[in-house]
Amino acid sequence: MLPALARLYPPERLLAQPGQLAAYESDGLTAYRARPAAVVIPATQAEVIETVRLCHQHRMPFVARGSGTSLSGGSLPIHDGLLIALNRLNRVVRLDPIQRLVVVEPGVINLDVSKAAAPHGLYYAPDPSSQQVCTIGGNIAFNSGGAHCLKYGMTSNHVLALKVVLADGEIVELGGESAESVGPDLVGLFVGSEGLFGVALEITLRLLARPEKFETVLAAYHSLAAAGEAVAQVVASGLLPGAMEIMDRLAIQAAEAAVHANYPAGTEALLIVELDGEAQQVAAEFHQLRGVIEASGAFEVHVARDAADRARIWKGRKSAFSAVGRLSPDFIVQDGVVPRSRLGAALAEIERLSARYGIRVANVFHAGDGNLHPLILFDGREPGALERAEQLAGEILTLCIRLGGSITGEHGVGMEKRDYLPRMFAETDVDAMHRLRLAMDPLLIANPGKMFPGGEAPALRHVGLHPLEKAGVIERE
């Protein structure tokens, strides 16, 4: 197949030498690596389409990749497969401020959508912590959320239409520019499919009017449990903030070291609550919120004075994941979800598990919708450290299922959580998912080995080698 690719791509956009491939061997889940046979860097949609058709013709497995920020191993290459790097497909094709929509290619950076819309008083609501680098194509694959998904929803709530090349090379148009659709929700089917159906070429996104006013409240607590209880009290009050985020002591320590956010000293947990909307409405809600927070036991409450102060508060939260690297050479970011009513129980159990394993866990999470992001700190240079960290991560996922939650909120299943899929879903449910995957990609060449346990059948990850390690598809560090 390489000769066919060489006819399609110039040498600088067809990478096949070991040194060229090294940068693509892993994604945000760095505990796994795999070397593809080649990496192609298409500059046009036509090149992507022809590449996928060649893969189908030669039965070559392929993975589409944006910035490689996936934390579940979802964009991990397939050993001896093809990696399609989409970063050069980064055009804003069309922006319609009247209809409040924008059409973009998959390599457009999340934050750049809002930058393009800003002159029209509009913005794109989903805001993952990696929004300065992650691409819309990756957001589509994993149905990304972010701090403000509590009020505004996930990526799936903001995608109107898709132009897609399926795994067999067929071009399809899903959805339309109207928010009202007729028939099956095929856009909703594709969003969150983790690259198993094909590659999105153009994405039509819904834009929102920028809120007239923000009120951002930072509350400091002497315990994580108190911060969690404050979330329950805010929800019980009937308020629907734009965002509610919690950081624990370790996460605060990391953020301070990285960006000097000047959070209150001696804090065990921080709660960030942000209201947004029309000025009159926000003023009334802020009065109510202030009363709830002051009654929740916070020892210090700070209200952002201006836009710069608001940006400082959020900079610490947004930097937390990367900043934890200052505390530990390696870490695993989990992504389980629990009902808000069980948030306190989940945090207490995570604390107990951390003590039992002797492994530090930094907690950063979207408190409003119960999406936990425990960061499990370890040193991969120590024998067995990765395996113990993974066992702890697995216990947290099992806890989320037991409490009536989910194994993933926005990071996807990917490689990391595939063997927990049958613990959350019945066998008939997993079979239905697999039949749908086969209908879209009968040759199983689009991002194979991801999401489904053991490749395509139930298996326990921690019993001996990972099934894909046995098959030689991936290797461990």
pLDDT of 477 reads 43
Per-residue DSSP letter, 446: B
Is residue 187 located within the same domain as residue 175? yes
Contacts with 16 (C-beta within 8 Å, 6 or more apart), sequence order: 2, 37, 38, 39
pLDDT in tens, 277-294: 999 999 999 999 999 999
Is residue 239 located within the same domain as residue 256? yes
Is residue 465 located within the same domain as residue 350? yes
End-to-end CA gap in the chain: 29
Is residue 308 located within the same domain as residue 227? yes
pLDDT in tens, 58-83: 999 999 999 999 999 999 999 999 99
Contacts with 159 (C-beta within 8 Å, 6 or more apart), sequence order: 140, 175, 187, 191, 203, 204, 205, 206
* Secondary structure, 3-state, 101-166: EEEECCCCEHHHHHHHHHHHCEECCCECCCCCCCEHHHHHHHCCCECCHHHHCCHHHCEEEEEEEE
d(CA 139, CA 146): 10
Is residue 384 located within the same domain as residue 361? yes
Q: Which amino acid is at 187?
A: V
Contacts with 151 (C-beta within 8 Å, 6 or more apart), sequence order: 240, 241, 242, 243, 276, 368
437 located within any domain: no
d(CA 115, CA 118): 5
* Residue 371, beta-bridge partner list: 337, 366
Question: Between the ranges 38-42, 368-372, 467-471, where is the mean pLDDT highest?
Answer: 38-42
Give percent of the chain with pLDDT exceeding 90: 78
Residue 95 clears pLDDT 70, i.e. is over it: yes
Residue 446 clears pLDDT 90, i.e. is over it: yes
pLDDT in tens, 295-338: 999 999 999 999 999 999 999 888 887 888 888 899 898 899 99
Is residue 166 located within the same domain as residue 153? yes
139 located within any domain: yes
pLDDT in tens, 136-164: 999 999 999 988 998 999 999 999 999 99
Is residue 298 located within the same domain as residue 223? yes
d(CA 139, CA 143): 5
Residue 468 clears pLDDT 70, i.e. is over it: no
410, two tokens: 């926005």
pLDDT of 180 reads 76
* CA neighbours closer than 13 Å in the CB half-sphere of residue 56: 17
Last residue of a domain, one of 87, 107, 129: 87
Is residue 181 located within the same domain as residue 250? no
pLDDT of 192 reads 96
pLDDT in tens, 364-409: 989 888 899 999 999 989 999 999 999 999 999 999 999 999 999 9
Is residue 180 located within the same domain as residue 203? yes
d(CA 473, CA 37): 12
* Residue 221, beta-bridge partner list: 269
101 located within any domain: yes
Query: 130-134, 272-276, 379-383, 471-475: which range is least confident on average?
Result: 471-475
200 located within any domain: yes
Is residue 77 located within the same domain as residue 168? no
For CA atoms 318, 322, 323, 328, the dihedral sign is positive
275, two tokens: 């209201």
d(CA 41, CA 84): 6
What is the domain-level CATH number for residue 124? 3.30.465.10
Last residue of a domain, one of 56, 87, 118: 87
What is the domain-level CATH number for residue 299? 3.30.70.2190
| Nearest alpha-carbon partner for 211 in 144, 161, 286, 262 | 286
476 located within any domain: no
Which residue in the block uniquely carries the two structure tokens 């397939």?
78
Going by pLDDT thresholds of 50, 70 and 90, the confidence category of residue 183 is: confident
Residue 457 clears pLDDT 80, i.e. is over it: no
Q: What is the mean pLDDT of residues 24-39?
A: 92
Number of domains forming the structure of the chain: 4
Give me the domain span that covers residue 82: 2-87
What is the domain-level CATH number for residue 368? 3.30.70.2740
466 located within any domain: yes
* Residue 135, beta-bridge partner list: 109
Query: Is the Cβ–Cβ distance between 67 and 86 less than 8 Å?
Result: no
pTM (two decimals): 0.90
